[in-house]
Amino acid sequence: MADDKIVQTAINTIRTLSMDAVQEAKSGHPGTPMALAPLVYTLWNRVMRFDPQDPIWPNRDRFVLSNGHASMLLWSVLHLTGTRAVNADYERMGLPSVSLDDIRRFRQLESKAPGHPEYHWVSGVETTTGPLGQGVATSVGMGIGQKWLANRYNRPGFAIFDYNIYAVCGDGCMMEGVASEAASLAAHLGLDNLCWVYDNNHITIEGDTRTTFTEDVGTRFLGYGWNVLRVGDANDIDRIQHALGVFRKTKGRPTFIILDSHIGYGAPHKQDTAAAHGEPLGEEECRLTKRYYGWPEDAKFLVPDGVYEHFAAGVGARGAQARRQWTDLFAAYRAEYPELATEIDQMQRRELPAGWDRNLPVFPADPKGIAGRDASSKVLNILAQNIPWFLGGSADLGPSNKTTLTYEGAGDFQADSPGGKNLHFGIREHAMAAIVNGLSLSKLRAFGATFFIFSDYARPAIRLSALMELPTIFIFTHDAMGDGEDGPTHQPVEHLASLRAIPGLVTLRPGDANEVVEAYRCIMQLRHEPAVLALSRQPLPTLDRSKYGPASGVAHGAYVLADAPGGNPEVILIATGSEVSLAAQAHEELVAEGIRSRVVSMPSWEIFDRQTQAYRDSVLPPGVTARVAVEQASTFGWERYVGASGHIIGMRTFGASAPLKELQRKFGFEPDRVAAAAKELLGRA
């Protein structure tokens, strides 16, 4: 076949596979894949360095489909390029990542062609997308990650990391705030490894964007400081290729390509209409569209002769060669820089370096104590020195979160200092969380920080970190009413409950400085789960561990801190965070009155829930039903630990603005009140 002919056939294969899959599934989004097939073809087959034989090769170019509803683009191209599957142990499998059968079973149970791109479910997906805006925001994290990796690991003659990141997005992504936050930061940081292609089709679900979206997107991106290009015809692959070439030559700023396209391209009745967005075209319209493409009208899931070979000769050959060269380069690099090569190996497998936890502090007993955020600061500064690829930052609250790394040489990450370990996200919590995900997808170990109350602003990306099974770390300080005078706008109430509700997310609310250390020890060993650390603003007494149970109990999620004589309690006080020492005080009062009480410190529900039944029963003996839970947060959910006859001291309102002492009195967080609740349960009030 002549070159032009096979190119067109390859593009139309992407289109028709997408149409057929949506038609067969009776659901999905055909129009955008039909419009963007030429873009995806050009990117993959002509530009990207990606080896389908090894989709996790560290120096591959990254492709992010931020308009995740157009997932059939990705399934088509992963299939046509013969991309191979990788298992959870990072082993390359001989099997295809997405088979034609998966595409026939688009959106069905177990198919490797699900509704939206799912990282962890389908090899070759770089990040989960679907919630619009997340993909592009995450791609900024990938851009920062590449810069950081290049700075640390590249050496003269050894460009170990020189990959680019391509993200495709639509009107929805452009309207979402998170994309704006991320775009602003990407330009500030001069991420010239980052290219977004904007599918400017003027269509969203409710119809023409005249009803909602009339801003000048190009001017907006110019204002951010991006290199803005335009390709006026989404079918013009030479112009697309040219624009991508301009991107690759542009230094010092990211590139934004506005691509004018026609949703549902070629469908006689549906092109340029919202009807092409999210429903099957219909059998008749499919036939007519195929006729327009010069395709056999009744063929379904057709991959014409020569198409697989064409992709093999394009991205396949280029990717294989690039990976071979890189592998040779890396072997020579390993000989010359064995320590750095080992670091890269460890990062790729999400392992920790030897000695990662050396010098972690042990805090002496101290009734005045230290704030959770201050203990955290000490731990972070040690971990960041022990683990070269551990980095992070705050959304403009570094001085309050105490997350700034202050040791000699930690440095700030900026355009002209891409080796810095202190990231400055600005007041962009949502983008921060997506960027931390992007860093994690780049195999760095990253944290983001803000006040606990503003975790809401980051929640969609936190949820995705759990869905993607990424070991990202979210450090949230001012975890309760500790900054009392700021009042209800700054007092988290339902945040713990709502984060505990996210499957796979590990929350930890440590009760004193030594629990903070142990919480980090747990978190750092997570490889496939994100963690939220809720830390106090105010000092918490450092408990005397010669008297109380050891803080290493944090590793079990909950543990017996103080017990009744003979380990035979009649009432159990369960507390987290700042309420642990409060419960310990109440315990002393009860003991003085001859009541056999036990205190359980429960920094993490999730970790406790996965302990053996025997362990859980040893901490919360089923026979002891008099139980009091104390937590300066919504009472929601504590019933599961205190049972029907238990008592919960928590929040049922938004709090108030007043000094902390007064708030503690008003809302019942005082030792007497906890002791009184226990006595009432025992009928000894």
Ligand X SMILES: Cc1ncc(C[n+]2csc(CCOP(=O)(O)OP(=O)(O)O)c2C)c(N)n1
Minimum distance from CB of 29 to ligand X (Å)?
7
Specify the residue, 69 or 598, whose C-beta has the smaller distance to ligand X. 69
C-beta neighbour count of 26 within 10 angstroms: 9
Minimum distance from CB of 461 to ligand X (Å)?
11
Site string (94-113) toward Mg ion, x via CB under 5 A: --------------------
Residue pair 501/568 in contact by the 8 Å Cβ criterion: no
Q: Which stretch binds Mg ion (CB under 5 A): 203-211, 407-415, 474-482, 655-663?
A: 203-211
Q: Which stretch binds ligand X (CB under 6 A): 142-150, 167-175, 451-459, 620-628?
A: 167-175
Specify the residue, 84 or 277, whose C-beta has the smaller distance to ligand X. 277
Cα separation, 406 vs 410, in Å, equals 6
Site string (351-390) toward ligand X, x via CB under 6 A: ----------------------------------------
List binders of Mg ion among 166-185 (CB under 5 A). 170-171
Cα separation, 563 vs 576, in Å, equals 16
Binding flag, residue 115, ligand X (CB under 6 A): no
Minimum distance from CB of 460 to ligand X (Å)?
7
List binders of ligand X among 262-301 (CB under 6 A). 263, 277
Minimum distance from CB of 117 to ligand X (Å)?
12
Measured CA distances, 43 to 140, 232, 324 (Å): 19, 17, 21
Q: Which stretch binds Mg ion (CB under 5 A): 144-152, 194-202, 296-304, 644-652?
A: 194-202
Q: Which stretch binds ligand X (CB under 6 A): 168-176, 264-272, 335-343, 508-516?
A: 168-176
Cα separation, 229 vs 231, in Å, equals 7
Helices in 353-479 by DSSP H: which ranges?
372-386, 398-401, 429-441, 459-467
If binding means CB under 6 A, how many residues of this protein chain bind ligand X?
19
Binding flag, residue 171, ligand X (CB under 6 A): yes
Q: Which stretch binds ligand X (CB under 6 A): 49-57, 65-73, 322-330, 610-618?
A: 65-73
Site string (130-169) toward Mg ion, x via CB under 5 A: ----------------------------------------
Specify the residue, 170 or 569, whose C-beta has the smaller distance to Mg ion. 170
Give the residue, chosen from 28, 55, 170, 369, that forms a contact with ligand X under the rule CB under 6 A: 170
**Strand spans (E) along 406-537:** 422-424, 445-451, 473-477, 506-508, 531-535
Specify the residue, 206 or 345, whose C-beta has the smaller distance to Mg ion. 206
The active-site residue, picked from 126, 176, 429, 515, is: 429
Selection from Mg ion, ligand X, none that 131 binds (CB < 5 to 8 A by kind) is ligand X
Taking the C-alpha atoms of 10, 12, 13 and 17 in order, what is their torsion angle to the nearest 10 degrees? 160
Measured CA distances, 673 to 194, 490, 610, 630, 665 (Å): 57, 25, 31, 10, 9
**Strand spans (E) along 39-157:** 62-65, 84-86, 92-96
Minimum distance from CB of 243 to ligand X (Å)?
19
> Which of these, 332, 329, 354, lies nearest to 343 by C-alpha position?
354
Query: Which tokens is 48 given?
Result: 């990207």
Measured CA distances, 486 to 260, 270, 670 (Å): 48, 54, 21
List binders of ligand X among 182-201 (CB under 6 A). 199, 201
Binding flag, residue 203, Mg ion (CB under 5 A): yes
Specify the residue, 102 or 171, whose C-beta has the smaller distance to Mg ion. 171
List binders of Mg ion among 379-408 (CB under 5 A). none
58 phi and psi angles, rounded to 5 deg: -60, -30
Give the residue, chosen from 69, 421, 463, 627, that forms a contact with ligand X under the rule CB under 6 A: 69
> Which of these, 308, 306, 465, 477, lies nearest to 380 by C-alpha position?
477
Binding flag, residue 132, ligand X (CB under 6 A): yes
Minimum distance from CB of 134 to ligand X (Å)?
8
Q: Which stretch binds Mg ion (CB under 5 A): 130-138, 201-209, 290-298, 657-665?
A: 201-209
Cα separation, 453 vs 277, in Å, equals 37
Measured CA distances, 312 to 34, 52, 158, 178, 680 (Å): 22, 9, 28, 37, 75
Minimum distance from CB of 212 to ligand X (Å)?
10
Minimum distance from CB of 232 to Mg ion (Å)?
16
Selection from ligand X, Mg ion, none that 32 binds (CB < 5 to 8 A by kind) is ligand X
Specify the residue, 168 or 497, whose C-beta has the smaller distance to Mg ion. 168
> 């936890």: which residue's tokens?
357
Cα separation, 523 vs 390, in Å, equals 13
Is 429 catalytic? The answer is yes
Selection from Mg ion, ligand X, none that 85 binds (CB < 5 to 8 A by kind) is none
SS (H, E, C) 170-199: CHHHHHCHHHHHHHHHHHHCCCCCEEEEEE
> Which of these, 370, 364, 366, lies nearest to 540 by C-alpha position?
370
Minimum distance from CB of 351 to ligand X (Å)?
34
Minimum distance from CB of 299 to Mg ion (Å)?
29
Taking the C-alpha atoms of 111, 282, 297 and 290 in order, what is their torsion angle to the nearest 10 degrees? -90
Site string (11-50) toward ligand X, x via CB under 6 A: ---------------------x------------------
Query: Which tokens is 647 given?
Result: 């008592």
371 membership: H or E segment, kind and range? strand 366-371
In the three-class reduction of DSSP (H, G, I as helix; E, B as strand; rest coil), residue 210 is classed as helix
Binding flag, residue 201, Mg ion (CB under 5 A): yes
Give the residue, chosen from 34, 98, 113, 203, that forms a contact with ligand X under the rule CB under 6 A: 203
Query: Which tokens is 175 given?
Result: 């309207």
Cα diameter, the chain: 93
Contact positions vs Mg ion (CB under 5 A): 170-171, 201, 203
Q: Which residues bind ligand X (CB under 6 A)?
A: 32, 67, 69-70, 130-132, 170-173, 176, 199, 201, 203-205, 263, 277
Residues serving a catalytic function are: 429
